[in-house]
Amino acid sequence: MSGAIALLIVNSAVAGLFSLCYFLIALINRSERPVIVFSISYLIGMSSPISELMVHFSNYPVPFMLLSYFGLECGFLAMAAALSAFERKRPLWPAIFGIACLAAIMRFLIWNGPRDDLLYEICYQLPLALALFLCVGVALSNAHRLTLYYTLSVLFGACGANFLIKPFVAVAMGSGRTAKDYAGSAYALYSQASNGILLTAAGLVVLLVVIQTAIREHLETSDTDHLSGLLNRRGFDRRAQGLVGSTLPEATDVCVVMIDLDHFKSINDTWGHDTGDRVIQIFSEILRNAAPQSALAARTGGEEFVLLLHRTKIESARLLAELIRQQTTAHQYPDIPAFTFSAGIAKLIPGESLSQLIRRADQATYRAKLGGRNRSELDLTGIADSDDHAQDWNACSWHG
């Protein structure tokens, strides 16, 4: 058995294992992301090396010659579609269809052409390279979401470049007098070895993309409060620790706004828990829309919320709390009763832990409730007299 035939068997097995692996991930995970499309693309691609073996051993090679070429071409195009579908984007169907048509035309034009002729080999390999470059483009379009896509684009690019180099290697080494002779040629050994190495590496990176995405989405799900869509206490603590524990100078410009909806139990008792849930959702939307993108907003209890503001002076935190309070009292939902909240605001003291910061903000919230509710209260611990005039502000605490 020649080395090329052995590599054809190995490449078939590797493609089959990738297809099975993605199928099992899709079966076990059952997420919204269509991981199964990767399984399909490798299943299609697996037909190419199997067909090459059949071309070598069969007395009727023509069907297998066609399946070998178009199995590989369609496998690459299916990978481009799979990458888009995995990212919940519409596949680039015009480009996919155009390259598929080009492949069919090229293969028809050179069907009985002279093997090991440079023009023949370029026409044979060019559509395969274009399909891989399409995969490069799709990977790069998603690189902003996951840096692994940069690695994947490099590997697909190397695979595409390899298919552009192959015509020159085929002319130099010889790919066999006929298609049946291909498997016994030195060129086949080069072709299958280079394809196997590069495509296996790309397959492993795709697998890493799938796994990393699944882990990230699992963490996001476990860190999110399902009713409000905000972070839950676990998610908030995990993200906030990095900001509060930073040694950078701006880490001291961290403020926390603790919010407690006023008389929430009476809303549930009077209007029902469905209305109470709607109040939570409406307030969460107000909080999410008012808070800056850099802020961490979380629902930490039944009617308790927290907002962590990075690189924010306590004056700005107080202004934001008042803006949210005004928007809350003026909500425009006729089927929802009027509701208010009390808030406590505290600024991080150097060397302070997250729990200590939250405790001071919570105590300020308690004082706001004692002071009449529907108002905010500053915690002035560690704040200098000149710090945003905070001392003067607390003397005229805002309230509705």
Which CATH number covers residue 372? 3.30.70.270
> What confidence score (pLDDT) does residue 31 get?
62
Q: Same domain for 159 and 216? A: yes
Q: Is residue 45 part of a domain?
A: yes
> What confidence score (pLDDT) does residue 178 get?
87
Of 222, 249, 283, the residue at which a domain comes to its end is 222
The predicted-structure confidence for 25-71, as pLDDT tens digits, reads as follows: 888 876 667 899 999 999 999 999 999 999 988 889 999 999 999 99
The whole-angstrom separation of Cα 108 and Cα 53 is 22
Of 222, 241, 276, the residue at which a domain comes to its end is 222
Q: Same domain for 157 and 203? A: yes
**Percent of the chain whose pLDDT exceeds 90:** 70
Give the CATH number, domain containing residue 7.
1.20.1070
CB 164 within 8 A of CB 129: yes
Q: Same domain for 283 and 237? A: yes
Work out the end-to-end distance of the chain between its first and last CA atoms, rounded to an integer number of angstroms: 87
- Exactly one of 52, 303, 352, 377 is catalytic; name it: 303
Q: Same domain for 187 and 263? A: no
Give 184 or 232, the one with higher predicted confidence: 232
* Beta pairing, strands 296-299 & 254-261: unpaired
Of 222, 248, 266, the residue at which a domain comes to its end is 222
Q: Is residue 400 part of a domain?
A: no
The whole-angstrom separation of Cα 178 and Cα 174 is 11
The whole-angstrom separation of Cα 40 and Cα 45 is 9
- Strand, helix or coil at 391? helix
> What confidence score (pLDDT) does residue 215 get?
84
The predicted-structure confidence for 236-287, as pLDDT tens digits, reads as follows: 998 888 777 654 555 568 999 999 999 999 999 999 999 999 999 999 999 9
**Can you tell me the mean pLDDT for 301-322?**
93
Give yes or no for residue 381 having a pLDDT over 90: no
Q: Is residue 200 part of a domain?
A: yes
Q: Is residue 281 part of a domain?
A: yes
Tell me what the pLDDT averaged over the chain comes to. 89
Is 32 catalytic? The answer is no
DSSP-assigned states of every residue in 170-222: HHHH---SSGGGGGGSHHHHHHHHHHHHHHHHHHHHHHHHHHHHHHHHHHHHH
> What confidence score (pLDDT) does residue 217 get?
80
Q: Is residue 228 part of a domain?
A: no
Confirm whether pTM is higher than 0.75: no
> What confidence score (pLDDT) does residue 395 get?
44
Residue 294 CB coordination number (10 Å): 11
Q: Same domain for 305 and 172? A: no
Q: Same domain for 174 and 277? A: no
Q: Same domain for 216 and 255? A: no
The predicted-structure confidence for 128-175, as pLDDT tens digits, reads as follows: 999 999 999 999 999 998 999 999 999 999 999 999 999 999 999 998
> What confidence score (pLDDT) does residue 386 get?
44
The domain containing residue 12 runs over which residues? 3-222
Band (389; pLDDT cuts 50, 70, 90): low
Q: Same domain for 98 and 198? A: yes
> What confidence score (pLDDT) does residue 387 get?
53
Q: Is residue 74 part of a domain?
A: yes
Give yes or no for residue 382 having a pLDDT over 80: no
**Can you tell me the mean pLDDT for 106-125?**
94
User: How many distinct structural domains can be found in the chain?
Assistant: 2
